[in-house]
Chain A
Amino acid sequence: MNRKSKVSRRERSEFLWGWMFLLPTMAGLIILNIIPIFQTIYQSFFKTGAFGKGNVFIGFDNYGQLFSDGAVWQALWNTCKYAVVEVPFSIAIALVLAVFLNGKIRGRSIWRTIYFLPMVAAPAAVAMVWRWLYNSEFGLLNHLLRGIGLSGVNWISNPNIAFISVAIVGIWSVIGYNMVLFFAGLQEIPRDYYEAAQIDGANGINQFFTITLPLISPTMFFVTVTRVIGAMQVFDSIYMMMGRSNPALVKTQSLVYLFYKYSFIEGNKGYGSSIVMLLLMVILLITMIQMICQKKWVNYS
């Protein structure tokens, strides 16, 4: 009897303390995140007029407009193209660098510091300096190209090249971040595996494919999923690098860029909301596909 009341007193106190500790976070999450999700869904059924006109309920018209809006499909395509360039390159390069740094190497912390440096720069500053490097007349890159006898490239005004130029900035910015995550994963692989493989006569490249790659695959999966989600939300570099009058803008603007433009420049928050709903669906779909596919290649053991 006595013991039972002690247990339930303990339970009661855990319940009270638990919810007291959760209170700020849960209240915040509900107000800042959960309610806004429903508000965004709700808003996507309205047409937002200019200031003061208020909301007009228009049912699925925003979605109808969305599906027939060529600019939205182009933006979705642009976003996917960006992700298809940025994600594999940033991951492959970062993995190779992490493997190098995990080996016997001098000045490991100096290399790491250098490769991580772009991560601590403001994206607006990064975009500006790259825009200057890409400048077709006075930019350093075209100067170097002309120096070796090639003709300059219109890095950010040629619609066929601009998305790659933006993706290069994305890769450059995020390599250090991916590298740090891979490096942490590599450190967990026991050294004896490599020693045993060496005795068996496996060379470095063999070891990479038979030991490193399978054992790093959980980290690889995590980085891939988060990088794809990040790439699908690309905004900063496009907003900063592509001027409003840039002829290549149509072929590079991302879904989030369109969302920003419609919601906050043109003030049509209803249509902006429907674009962000499309983004949500696309991200959920891609993430789900990745979750299903992981069984084929991710090695948890």
Chain B
Amino acid sequence: MDKSRKIKSAIVYFILTIGSVIMLVPFLWMVLTAFKSTSEATQMNPFIIFPTVWRKEAFLSIISKMNFLRLYWNTLMLIVERVICAVLTATMAGYAFGRLHFKGKNLAFSLVLFQMMVPSQIFIIPQYLMVSKLGMLNTSFGLLFPGLVTAFGTFLLRQAYMGLPSSLEEAARLDGCNIGQTFLYVMAPLTKSSMVALGIFTALFGFKELMWPLVVNTEQNTMPLSAALAKLQGQFETNYPELMAASLLACIPMIIIYLIFQKQFIEGIATSGGKL
């Protein structure tokens, strides 16, 4: 009995280890390639795993071609703006949907659900034409545009508000709070964990979004990282150390943030579940 349990747990650890190696190898290969010279990266006989000398040439050359400070800034702005818009609008709408009773609520909520069921590509052409008509192509507002409000976040916050006890609300009302004060001082602070979850979710998928930035911001100095990487590949198709250096520079900030806040990240994703 004891022996078979030991074998079982050894099998579990073995499978988990193999899986982890598969998860990590692409990242390791990215790092190793980025520090090689082009000839080292494409040398077959002998095949080189670790760079003989850890070179920084690929990084220097890619930094001279891409303005990474600008790209980090554009990406950061995109994320910050989207998170603020999403959390602010969804918190308010979520409270109205989750706690208040008024005419037209159900119709409004069905629009929220409807938006969540429709594939997002259906919005892209008209959204692009709107941004273009406003003369806002290649601006930070253009990048933000589809993220001004969030149906998914509204749904998430509504669920959070519905889970709160109504006794708090009644107590606040007896103390003379109006609905706005009840919301601001009593109820909203209690949904903090859902707000954090929505914030993480919004930040992560804002960072990962590719098609929208490719469409609205085609100028180098207004692009976020994702689009800049996509453009890069077309230009220097075969210089793998440079492509890997660029990928590494693009991924490192988010990976560091993730490693620091991994508990919040994973719990945030687990509670928001959500759609891709």
Residues of A within 8 A of B (CB): 11, 13-15, 17-19, 21-22, 24-37, 39-40, 43, 93, 96-97, 100, 103-105, 109, 111-126, 128-130, 132-133, 135, 137-138, 140, 143, 172, 174-177, 180-181, 183-184, 204, 222, 226-227, 229-230, 232-233, 235-236, 239-240, 243, 256, 259-260, 263-264, 269, 272-273, 276-277, 279-280, 283-284, 287
B180 close to A (CB within 8 Å)? yes
15 contacts between A and B (CB under 8 A): A11-B101, A14-B179, A15-B103, A26-B111, A29-B111, A111-B20, A114-B23, A120-B265, A124-B225, A129-B30, A133-B29, A138-B41, A181-B273, A183-B270, A264-B214
A100 to B92, CA, bound (A): 40
Describe A's contact surface by its main secondary structure. Answer: helix
A31 to B129, CA, bound (A): 12
Contact of B93 (CB < 8 Å), options: A15, A25, A259, A273: A25
Describe B's contact surface by its main secondary structure. Answer: helix
Question: Given A128-B229, A129-B29, A226-B275, are A29 and B101 also a contact pair (CB < 8 Å)?
Answer: no
Query: For residue B49, which residue of chain A has the nearest CB?
Result: A140
Chain B interface residue number, banded: 35 or more
Question: Given A13-B179, A19-B104, A143-B44, are A29 and B151 also a contact pair (CB < 8 Å)?
Answer: yes
Residues of B within 8 A of A (CB): 8-9, 12, 15-16, 19-20, 22-27, 29-30, 33, 41-42, 44, 47, 88-90, 92-93, 95-97, 100-105, 108, 111-112, 114-115, 117-130, 145-146, 148-151, 154, 178-180, 183, 204, 207-208, 210-211, 214-215, 225-227, 229-230, 233, 237, 240, 243-244, 246-248, 250-251, 254-255, 257-259, 262-263, 265-266, 269-271, 273-276
Give 6 A-B pairs besides A15-B102, A17-B183, A177-B276 with Cβ atoms closer than 8 angstroms: A13-B178, A24-B88, A29-B112, A112-B266, A239-B210, A276-B119
Report the minimum CB–CB distance from A275 to chain B (whole Å).
Answer: 9
Judge whether B254 and A28 touch: CB under 8 Å: no
Contact of A124 (CB < 8 Å), options: B226, B274, B275, B276: B226
Judge whether A132 and B29 touch: CB under 8 Å: yes
Report the minimum CB–CB distance from A223 to chain B (whole Å).
Answer: 8
Judge whether A35 and B270 touch: CB under 8 Å: no
Report the minimum CB–CB distance from A202 to chain B (whole Å).
Answer: 14
Judge whether B230 and A124 touch: CB under 8 Å: yes
Contact of A129 (CB < 8 Å), options: B104, B121, B247, B259: B247
Residues on B with C-beta less than 8 A from A287 are 117
Contact of B145 (CB < 8 Å), options: A32, A37, A122, A130: A32
Judge whether A122 and B225 touch: CB under 8 Å: yes
Judge whether A233 and B119 touch: CB under 8 Å: yes
Question: Given A138-B41, A226-B276, are A33 and B255 also a contact pair (CB < 8 Å)?
Answer: no
Residues on B with C-beta less than 8 A from A121 are 27, 251, 254-255
Among A112, A180, A272, chain B packs the most CB atoms within 10 A around the CB of A180
Judge whether A280 and B119 touch: CB under 8 Å: yes
A184 to B268, CA, bound (A): 11
Question: Given A33-B151, A132-B29, A180-B269, are A18 and B96 also a contact pair (CB < 8 Å)?
Answer: yes
Query: For residue B275, which residue of chain A has the nearest CB?
Result: A226
Judge whether B179 and A177 touch: CB under 8 Å: no
Judge whether B125 and A124 touch: CB under 8 Å: no
Report the minimum CB–CB distance from B195 to chain A (whole Å).
Answer: 15
Question: Given A18-B100, A124-B229, are A132 and B121 also a contact pair (CB < 8 Å)?
Answer: no
A133 to B247, CA, bound (A): 14
Residues on A with C-beta less than 8 A from B178 are 13, 17
Contact of B26 (CB < 8 Å), options: A14, A22, A93, A129: A129
Report the minimum CB–CB distance from B132 to chain A (whole Å).
Answer: 11
Judge whether B154 and A276 touch: CB under 8 Å: no
Report the minimum CB–CB distance from A110 to chain B (whole Å).
Answer: 9
Residues on A with C-beta less than 8 A from B207 are 122
